[in-house]
Structure 1
Amino acid sequence: MDEELHREWTRRLLSLHPEIPPDAASLFVADLYAQAQADLDAERAEVDFQREE
């Protein structure tokens, strides 16, 4: 994830929930992005597999 994008999403999360510690918000954003990317990769792999059949 681009560092500037990561900072922006962390700032957005903190603006909605200022009680979250900044480090926890940053980790959450990174984990969310990683999981979303993994889900997209799995979806693409499934589409490619279906296309090859």
Structure 2
Amino acid sequence: MSEPDDPLAPWTDRLLRLGDGVPPEAARSFVHDLYAQAQTDIDKERAEAEFEREE
């Protein structure tokens, strides 16, 4: 289902083991969206920290 170096695969697999009847595509989409939002939040925090250091 996933490539060996896929960072989302372990989390998708964990999610699928937690709930019966969750379609693999839905689990992968959820994990992808969560990962993307987390990256956006981290990037925002880094930018704010960099701005604070420059002031």
Same fold (TM over 0.5): yes
The share of aligned pairs that are identical, in percent, is: 59
Does residue 1:20 correspond to 2:22, yes or no? Answer: yes
Question: What amino acid sits opposite 1:16 in the alignment?
Answer: L
Residue 11 of structure 2 corresponds to 9
> Offset at 1:15?
0.5
Gaps of 5+ in 2: none
Residue 47 of structure 1 corresponds to 49
The whole-number CA distance in structure 2 between the counterparts of 1:37 and 1:18 is 28
Greater than 3 Å deviation, 4+ residue runs: none
Greater RCO structure (CA 8 Å; 6+ sep)? 1
The whole-number CA distance in structure 2 between the counterparts of 1:47 and 1:7 is 31
Q: Larger % of helix: which?
A: 1
Give the root-mean-square deviation of aligned CA atoms: 1.0
